[in-house]
Amino acid sequence: MTHPSEPTLEVQQRADALARRLAESDRPIAELDALLDAVRGLEARFDFDLQGRPGAIEAVRHALPTMERDLFDAVIDDHACEVAALAEAMWQLAAAMIRARP
């Protein structure tokens, strides 16, 4: 997991707003991992494999012709950006929740 970036004012304000909303709804962030594990068990489309994924991606990449390989790499990079943005948002939310503590 990476460390959070320095937030812009907009990012900080949005994280603070979400933290307030979560605090008001009594939905603790500590339950996120348990929720994610529960969701993973719902059906196969949610059961990701972090350990096996790099090898599988590399095998597919090497099986593709060069032009398709470049497109595949672009799709994988785009997905990585989405996951990184989600992780950053969670870091910023955690920071906002800490700031909101009395």
Given a contact cutoff of 8 angstroms between Cβ atoms, the answer to whether 87 and 5 are in contact is no
Handedness of CA 60, 1, 24, 10 (dihedral sign): negative
Give the pLDDT of residue 1.
Answer: 46
| Average pLDDT taken over every residue of the chain | 79
The DSSP secondary-structure symbol of 64 reads S
Tokens found for residue 33: 């991992």
Tens digits of residue pLDDT in 26-59: 555 555 566 667 777 777 877 777 678 889 889 9
The Cα–Cα gap between 25 and 47 comes to 28
List the alpha helices (DSSP H) in the chain.
9-24, 32-40, 53-63, 66-100
